[in-house]
Amino acid sequence: MTTLDCRGQRCPLPVIALAKAIRDTPVGGIVRVLADDPAAAGDIPAWCRMKGHEFVGRSGVTFEVRRSGGTT
């Protein structure tokens, strides 16, 4: 599992970091993003839908994304 600490960064920076990290993640692997920008709550799930990856869930500032067969 890859963890990205994007706390203190404004969107779209956490989404950009996620997009870069998911390229090196095997299908089925998880990327955990720590992001405290309120916009991340909408941006990360929307990016997952757009790219075909699974938004696993959110707990506080922690977001988990599973790489699917979608685009990177």
List, by residue number, the catalytic residues: 11
**Letter string b/e over residues 34-45, b meaning 16 or more CB atoms within 10 A of that residue's CB:** bbebeebeebbe
Kindly report the number of other CB atoms within 10 A of residue 68's CB atom.
Answer: 14
Two structure tokens written together for 24: 């090196």
